Structure 1
Amino acid sequence: MSETHAFTGRVLCEAACQLGEGATYDPASGKAFWFDIKGQKLHELHLATRTKAVHDLPFLGSVLAVVDAARQLIVSDQGLFLRTVADGRLTPFLTLEDKAVNRSNDGRVHPCGALWASTMGRSAEKHSGAIYHVAGTVVTKLFSNITIANSICFSPDGGTGYFVDSAVNRLMRVALDAKTGLPTGEPEGLSDQSGTPGDVDGSVCDAEGLIWNARWGGNGIDVYTPDGTKVAHHHVPALQTTCPAFIGEKADRLLVTSAWADMDGAARRADPLAGQTFELGIAVKGRFEPTFTL
C-alpha cells in the first residue's frame, strides 16, 4: 500500500523555470545542473556554497551528461553538443534525427557509458517522438511512435531499462544487455497509471532498484518497486514536478525540478512555487550518474 509523506524539504533555487527538466549532479565538482528547456537556460548550483550560475543556450537543451572534468554532453533540439566547462563553448557532436517538428526531452546515461535520449514534438504532436541509444558516435533508434518519452532510467546492474510515454501513462520496462545498454527483448508494462491524476514524468533508479518518479500534475515524487508496486508518494509544493536527481557527496539527497509551463495567471497564483527547484528533505540511497563514454 502506498504511503503519503508531507514535504519536509526546502527550496534549493527560487528561479522559476518555465519548464525545469534534465536534473543531474556531478560529484567531482559538487554541482547540480538542470535546464529550463523553453527558457533556453542551463542552471548550475554548487551545493556546498549555494553559488549559482545561469548559462544562456542557443537551443532547447534538455539532458546533460558528464564526459570528464573538462567536458559535458548536452542533448538539444539541434542535436548533441560537447560543452567545455571552463568557458561554456559548444561544439556540435552528433545528430539524433532530422525532424524539425521535434525537440529533445528526457535522457540518462546507462551504467555502461552509453546514452539513452528521447525526442518529442514541440507541441507534443502525437507519436512524433522516439528513444535513441548513443554509444560513442553510433546512434540507434530503440523505440518510435512515442508522444512524450520520459522516465528513462536503469536498474543498478544495468540489466533493466525503464521509460514511459507520458501521453499513455504506462511505465514500461525492458531487459537490456548490461554491457551495451541495448535491449535484449521487447518492452512490457510495469505500472499502469493511465487512470490516475497527473503524468509519469522524469525518473531515477536508486541503489536498491527503487524508481523515484516525478509526477507532472501530481505535486510530488512517487516511488515504485522493481515489480511496479507504488509504495510511496512524497509531496512537493509545486503541482508540475518534472525530474529528480540524486545529489550530495553520498548521493543521499534528492533534487526535484518543476515547471510553470501551460499555466495561466490564476493557476500560477494558486501555485506560487511553480518552476522552482527543491530538495525533498529525506535520506535516500541514491547512485551517481555514470559518465558518457566518447
Structure 2
Amino acid sequence: MTDEAVQVATTILHDEPCQLGEGPTYDQASDTAWWSDILGKTLFEHRFATGETRRHALPFMASQLSFVDDGRQLVAADKGLFLRDVASGELTLVNPLEADNAATRSNDGRTHPSGALWIGTMGLNGERGAGAIYWFRGGEVRQLYPNANIPNAICFAPDGRTGYFTGTVSGKLMRVALDPATGLPTEQPSVIFEVPADDAEAHLDGAVVDADGLIWVARWGGARVTALAPDGTVVREVPVPARQSSCPAFVGAKLDRMLVTTAHQGLDAESRAADPEAGKIFLLDFPMRGRADPRVLL
C-alpha cells in the first residue's frame, strides 16, 4: 500500500524545535511519550491526558530511553547507561559505555523482547568507523559490531528472532538472526535494503517494527518514514513535514498512532527558512498496528 492510498493526518505534538530530536518511546501505563534533544541535553516528557510537555535538563547528551519498571528508566548517554528515577529525576550510573573515549557518544538503540538493550555509539562528528553496537542485559555489556558508521535503525521482529540495523553512512539496512531468549546474534548479518543512488540524501535513521512485522524507518533528509517488509520491499511511504526526520515510535492506548522526532542540526539560516518545521515533534494518524516497547532487564 502506498502513501497515496492512505489518508495521513499530521499534527504538531510539540513545537519547540530540537537541535537533534531522537529516541522517542511511549509508556502505555501512564499514557506518556518521551524523547531527547541529544545536543540540547534535554529529555522531554509529553502527557497525552493533559497535553502538557515537560522539559528535564540533563548533565549529558542522552539518545535513548528504556523503561525498567513503572518508576525507573534506563537512559543511554555519552557517559554510559544511567538509571533514572521518574519521580525525582535522579540519575545513577549502571554501566559505563566507551567512557574512556571522549570522541564518541551514544546514538540509536532499542530494547529486544528478551529485555536486552541494543545501543549504538558514534563519533561526535559522525566519523566513519568510530562507533559500535553493544548488547546490554542484566548488568552485562557485550560489543556486537565494532567500527560502525553511525549505527541506526536498531529494531526487532515481534517474535525476537530477527534484528535490524544500519550504519547510516552505508545506506544499507541489515538483517540478522537472533536468539529470541537473549537477543544475541546467531548468524552473520545480511543486506535486505539499500538506499537507491537517486535517493541518496534520504538516509536511513531510527526505526521500529510494528505488530505485522513492517519496519518503519525514518529517512533523514527525506522528509518521510518508509515502511519495509521483512525482505526489504518498500511497502509504504508516509510524509513528515520536516526533512530531517530522525525516529518513529508507536503511541496511544491502542498503539495506533506514530510519533516522529526531527532535527534542525546542521541547517544554516537559509535551510531553516526553507524547512520551518525542522526539529518539531509530529504525530501521524493513519491505519497501523503498533507494538509496545519491551522493558529492559537490569
- Tell whether the structures are fold-level matches, with TM greater than 0.5: yes
Of 237, 247, 251, the match for 1:247? 251
Aligned 8 A contact 2:7 2:286 in 1: no
Tell me the distance in 2 between the aligned counterparts of 1:152 and 1:47.
26
Tell me the distance in 2 between the aligned counterparts of 1:289 and 1:67.
11
Of 226, 229, 250, the match for 2:230? 226
Aligned 8 A contact 1:7 1:237 in 2: no
Shift of 1:9: 1.3
Amino acid aligned to 1:220: R
**CA displacement, residues 116-144 of structure 1 (integer Å, 9 cap, x when unaligned):** 00000000111000000001111010001
Shift of 1:70: 1.1
Of 122, 146, 149, the match for 1:147? 149
> What is the correspondence of 1:282-293 to structure 2 with a 5 Å cutoff?
282-293=286-297
Shift of 1:168: 0.6
Shift of 1:48: 2.1
Of 183, 189, 192, the match for 1:190? 192
Q: CA RMSD in A?
A: 1.2
Amino acid aligned to 1:216: W
Shift of 1:6: 7.1
Tell me the distance in 2 between the aligned counterparts of 1:7 and 1:43.
25
Shift of 1:8: 2.2
Give the match for residue 24 of structure 1: 25
Shift of 1:47: 1.2
Amino acid aligned to 2:291: R
Please tell me whether residue 162 in structure 1 is matched to residue 164 in structure 2: yes
Give the match for residue 43 of structure 2: 42
> What SS does the corresponding residue of 2:287 show, helix, strand or coil?
coil
> What SS does the corresponding residue of 1:280 show, helix, strand or coil?
strand
**CA displacement, residues 218-256 of structure 1 (integer Å, 9 cap, x when unaligned):** 001100001100111111110000000000111111000
Amino acid aligned to 2:93: P
Q: 1:145 to 1:6 in 2, by over 3 A?
A: farther
Amino acid aligned to 1:40: K
**Structure 1 portions without partners, runs of 5+:** none
Aligned 8 A contact 1:13 1:278 in 2: yes
> What SS does the corresponding residue of 1:9 show, helix, strand or coil?
strand
**Structure 2 portions without partners, runs of 5+:** none
Tell me the distance in 2 between the aligned counterparts of 1:60 and 1:177.
31
Shift of 1:65: 0.3
Aligned 8 A contact 2:256 2:285 in 1: no
Aligned 8 A contact 1:6 1:234 in 2: no
> What SS does the corresponding residue of 2:285 show, helix, strand or coil?
coil
Amino acid aligned to 1:65: S
> What SS does the corresponding residue of 1:267 show, helix, strand or coil?
helix
Aligned 8 A contact 2:84 2:91 in 1: yes
> What SS does the corresponding residue of 1:246 show, helix, strand or coil?
strand
Identity percentage over the alignment? 49
Give aligned pairs, total: 294
Aligned 8 A contact 1:256 1:279 in 2: yes
Aligned 8 A contact 1:9 1:282 in 2: no
Give the match for residue 133 of structure 1: 135
Tell me the distance in 2 between the aligned counterparts of 1:242 and 1:194.
19
Aligned 8 A contact 2:154 2:163 in 1: yes
Aligned 8 A contact 1:7 1:236 in 2: no
- What is the TM-score normalised by the length of structure 1? 0.98
> What is the correspondence of 1:44-193 to structure 2 with a 5 Å cutoff?
44-97=45-98, 98-193=100-195
Q: 1:268 to 1:66 in 2, by over 3 A?
A: same
Tell me the distance in 1 between the aligned counterparts of 2:49 and 2:253.
10
Please tell me whether residue 273 in structure 1 is matched to residue 290 in structure 2: no
Amino acid aligned to 2:20: L
